[in-house]
C-alpha cells in the first residue's frame, strides 16, 4: 500500500516496521520458506498449495492523518514462474496456486515479503509429468460369510507424461467390529509396465470373508515419473459389509390330525430365515411338493403361495396345501423348502420335516352260520366291525342287511344286538342277528356300518358280502 507523499516525507525517519499484530520487525527481514504442501503437482493442471516458513512480514505505517495501515502483499515464484492468487495468512503461512506448464522436476521456490526482501527454498516443489489416480471398488458392496468376492483397483494416469512400473501396494483390510476376510490371490497383474496419459488399467484381488461385520479396504499403487525423475503414488478405500449367510429352517403341521375319509386335511409348512441377526435375505423361497407315505389322500389345492420372492433375516412365511382323505389309516406327510442367498446366490435348503395325520376308518366282516339250515330253523348272522386306527369310533351302527344274489329266502327274527356300540382303537365289536329259513336255496347277505370319529366326522365301514349258506 502506498502512503501519501507528505506523510512519507514527514514520517520517513520515524517509519515503524511492525509485524502483523503490532510487533516490531527488527534484524533479519528476509523471508525463509521451509516447505510447500503438497510437495508435488502435475504440470498439466493448477495445484493449490500452502507455503510455510518464517519472516512472512507485513508492513504497518502510521500516516500524518493518523490511523495505521498494513501492506501484506507477498509474491512467490517456482522455476521463475510467478504463482497465482498469493494470499498472506500469517507470519508463517501463505496460500497460492501453482500454474500449469512448469518444467518437470524439483523446482526452487522464491518468496518476496512486503519489504521486498526475498528468500529461497531449493527443490521445494516437484513438477511431475505423470500423475497417478486410484479408485478401488468391491465386486459387491455387501457379501455373505463364505461368499468369494473381488477387489479391483483402477489406476489412471491423469498427467501429461507416461508413468513406468505401476505397482500395487499391499492390500490392507481393517475392521472395528470383528469382521474378517482373507486374500485368496492377487494382485493380478503384479505390474503394469507403462501407463500413458489418460490411460487406465486394473489390479484385481480375490478374497473370502469369514466373519460378519464391516470391512474397510485400503488399496494403493506407486509408479515412476521419468519426466520429473520422481515416484508418484495414490491410494483409495472402499467399505464392504459382510453378513451372515441366509439359512432356512422349517416346521410342519397338519390340521386336523384326526379326520375321516372324504374330509379335508390342511398341511402347513412354516419356513424361517434363521441366518441370525443381520443375515442376508433369502430369495425365491419355494416349498417342495409334500411326500405322502401312502396314497390315502388326494391333493386339491396348493401350495399357497407358490413361492416367496424375499425372506429377510428372522422373517417367516407359511405355505399351505389341502388334501382330501381317500383311504383310512396313518398318513405321513413330509416336505421342505429351498431358496437362494440374496448376496451370493448360493442355494440354501431347510431340512425335511414330517407330520402324521390319522384317517379314521372301519372295516366289517359278515358271517352266516351254520352253513346248512333246515327249513324253519334259525340262521345266526354276525358282523364284526373293526377299528384299525389309534382313536375310538363312537356310536357305530350296522346298516340294514340285504340279500345278495340269494335264491333262498329268510326272515329276520331278532337283531342287531347291540343296535349301537363304540369301537375302541384297534378293537372289534360284534353285532348279531337271527334269521329263519323260509324257502330253500342259496342265501347270502350284505351290509356295512357307520360311526362317528373323534373329530365329529362320519366314519363308514364299506358294504361287504357274507359267506354263502344253503337253505333246505
We report the CATH number of the domain holding residue 55 as: 2.60.40.10
122 and 9 together in one domain:
yes
Predicted confidence at residue 412, as pLDDT, reads 95
Q: What is the pLDDT of residues 329-344, one digit of tens each?
A: 889 999 999 999 999 9
Containing domain of residue 331, as a range? Answer: 248-360
321 and 386 together in one domain:
no
Q: What percent of the chain is predicted at pLDDT more than 90?
A: 82
Q: What is the pLDDT of residues 77-125, one digit of tens each?
A: 999 999 999 999 999 999 999 999 999 999 999 999 999 999 999 999 9
For residues 31 and 115, give the distance between their C-alpha atoms in angstroms, rounded to a whole number: 10
25 and 97 together in one domain:
yes
For residues 63 and 6, give the distance between their C-alpha atoms in angstroms, rounded to a whole number: 9
Which range among 166-175, 256-265, 372-381, 393-402 shows the weakest confidence by mean pLDDT? 256-265
Are 210 and 181 contacting, i.e. CB atoms less than 8 angstroms apart? yes
9 and 92 together in one domain:
yes
224 and 285 together in one domain:
no
Give the cell for residue 388.
Answer: 384299525
Predicted confidence at residue 421, as pLDDT, reads 96
Asked if the model's pLDDT at residue 408 lies above 60, the reply is yes
Indicate the residue among 243, 267, 286 that finishes a domain.
Answer: 243
Q: What is the pLDDT of residues 138-162, one digit of tens each?
A: 999 999 999 999 999 999 999 999 9
Give me the mean pLDDT over the 60-64 stretch: 75
12 and 124 together in one domain:
yes
Q: What are the backbone angles phi and psi of residue 10, rounded to the nearest 5°?
A: -70, -35
Q: Band the pLDDT of 8: cuts 50, 70, 90.
A: very low
Q: What angle do CA 38, 44, 48 make, to 5 degrees?
A: 30
DSSP lists the bridge partners of residue 220 as 235
Q: Band the pLDDT of 14: cuts 50, 70, 90.
A: very low
Q: What is the pLDDT of residues 187-211, one digit of tens each?
A: 999 999 999 999 999 999 999 999 9
108 and 138 together in one domain:
no
Confidence (pTM) = 0.68
Q: What is the pLDDT of residues 428-463, one digit of tens each?
A: 999 999 999 999 999 999 999 999 988 788 899 999
| Total of domains in the chain | 4
Q: What is the pLDDT of residues 275-330, one digit of tens each?
A: 988 899 999 999 999 999 989 999 999 999 999 999 999 999 999 999 999 988 88
Asked if the model's pLDDT at residue 19 lies above 60, the reply is no
User: Parallel, antiparallel, or unpaired for β 213-225 and 230-243?
Assistant: antiparallel
For residues 92 and 114, give the distance between their C-alpha atoms in angstroms, rounded to a whole number: 14
Return all residues near 333 (Cβ < 8 A) that are at least 6 apart: 252, 254, 267, 290, 291, 292, 293, 354, 355, 356, 357
Indicate the residue among 189, 224, 243 that finishes a domain.
Answer: 243
Asked if the model's pLDDT at residue 4 lies above 70, the reply is no
For residues 44 and 58, give the distance between their C-alpha atoms in angstroms, rounded to a whole number: 33
382 and 314 together in one domain:
no
Q: What is the DSSP string of 364-409?
A: EEEEEE-SEE-TT-EEEEEEEEEE-SSS-EEEEEE---EE-S-SSE
326 and 397 together in one domain:
no
Q: What percent of the chain is predicted at pLDDT more than 70?
A: 94
Q: What are the backbone angles phi and psi of residue 344, rounded to the nearest 5°?
A: -95, -20
373 and 355 together in one domain:
no
For residues 191 and 170, give the distance between their C-alpha atoms in angstroms, rounded to a whole number: 13
Q: Coil, strand, or helix at residue 8? A: helix
461 and 408 together in one domain:
yes
Domain of 318, CATH number, reads 2.60.40.680
152 and 222 together in one domain:
yes
Indicate the residue among 342, 360, 378 that finishes a domain.
Answer: 360
Mean pLDDT taken over the chain: 91
Q: What is the pLDDT of residues 222-264, one digit of tens each?
A: 999 999 899 999 999 999 999 999 999 999 999 998 888 888 9
Amino acid at each position: 500500500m502506498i502512503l501519501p507523499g507528505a506523510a512519507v516525507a514527514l514520517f520517513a525517519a520515524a517509519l515503524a516496521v511492525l509485524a502483523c499484530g503490532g510487533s516490531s520487525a527488527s534484524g533479519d527481514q528476509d523471508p525463509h520458506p521451509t516447505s510447500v504442501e503438497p510437495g508435488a503437482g502435475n504440470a498439466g493442471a493448477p495445484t493449490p498449495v500452502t507455503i510455510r516458513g518464517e519472516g512472512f512480514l507485513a508492513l504497518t505505517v502510521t500516516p500524518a492523518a493518523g490511523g495505521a495501515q498494513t501492506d501484506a502483499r507477498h509474491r512467490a515464484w517456482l522455476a521463475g514462474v510467478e504463482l497465482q492468487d498469493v494470499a498472506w495468512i500469517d507470519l508463517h503461512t501463505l496460500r497460492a496456486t501453482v500454474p500449469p506448464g512448469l518444467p518437470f522436476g524439483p523446482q526452487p521456490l522464491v518468496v518476496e515479503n512486503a519489504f521486498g526482501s526475498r528468500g529461497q527454498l531449493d527443490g521445494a516443489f516437484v513438477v511431475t509429468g505423470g500423475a497417478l489416480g486410484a479408485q478401488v471398488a468391491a465386486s459387491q458392496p455387501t457379501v455373505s460369510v463364505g461368499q468369494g468376492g473381488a477387489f479391483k483397483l483402477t489406476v489412471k494416469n491423469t498427467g501429461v507424461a507416461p508413468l513406468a512400473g505401476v505397482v500395487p501396494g499391499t492390500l490392507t483390510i481393517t475392521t472395528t467390529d470383528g469382521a474378517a476376510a482373507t486374500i485368496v490371490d492377487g494382485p493380478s497383474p503384479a505390474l503394469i509396465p507403462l501407463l500413458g496419459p489418460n490411460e487406465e488399467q486394473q489390479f484385481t484381488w480375490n478374497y473370502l470373508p469369514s466373519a460378519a461385520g464391516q470391512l474397510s479396504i485400503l488399496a494403493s499403487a506407486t509408479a515412476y515419473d521419468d519426466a520429473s525423475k520422481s515416484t508418484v503414488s495414490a491410494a483409495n478405500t472402499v467399505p464392504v459389509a459382510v453378513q451372515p449367510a441366509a439359512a432356512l429352517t422349517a416346521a410342519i403341521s397338519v390340521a386336523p390330525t384326526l379326520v375321516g375319509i372324504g374330509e379335508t386335511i390342511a398341511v402347513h409348512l412354516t419356513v424361517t430365515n434363521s441366518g441370525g441377526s443381520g443375515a442376508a435375505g433369502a430369495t425365491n423361497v419355494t416349498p417342495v411338493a409334500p411326500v405322502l407315505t401312502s396314497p390315502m389322500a388326494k391333493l386339491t389345492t396348493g401350495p399357497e403361495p407358490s413361492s416367496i420372492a424375499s425372506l429377510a433375516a428372522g422373517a417367516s412365511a407359511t405355505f399351505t396345501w389341502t388334501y382330501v382323505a381317500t383311504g383310512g389309516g396313518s398318513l405321513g406327510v413330509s416336505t421342505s423348502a429351498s431358496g437362494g442367498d440374496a448376496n451370493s446366490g448360493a442355494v440354501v435348503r431347510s431340512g425335511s420335516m414330517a407330520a402324521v395325520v390319522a384317517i379314521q376308518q372301519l372295516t366289517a366282516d359278515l358271517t352266516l352260520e351254520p352253513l346248512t339250515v333246515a327249513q324253519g330253523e334259525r340262521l345266526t348272522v354276525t358282523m364284526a366291525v373293526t377299528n384299525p386306527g389309534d382313536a375310538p369310533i363312537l356310536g357305530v351302527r350296522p346298516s340294514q342287511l340285504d340279500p345278495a344274489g340269494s335264491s333262498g329266502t329268510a326272515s329276520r327274527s331278532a337283531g342287531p344286538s347291540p343296535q349301537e356300540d363304540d369301537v375302541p382303537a384297534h378293537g372289534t365289536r360284534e353285532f348279531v342277528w337271527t334269521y329263519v329259513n323260509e324257502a330253500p336255496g342259496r342265501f347270502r347277505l350284505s351290509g356295512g356300518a357307520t360311526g362317528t370319529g373323534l373329530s365329529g366326522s362320519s366314519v363308514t365301514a364299506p358294504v361287504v358280502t357274507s359267506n354263502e349258506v344253503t337253505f333246505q
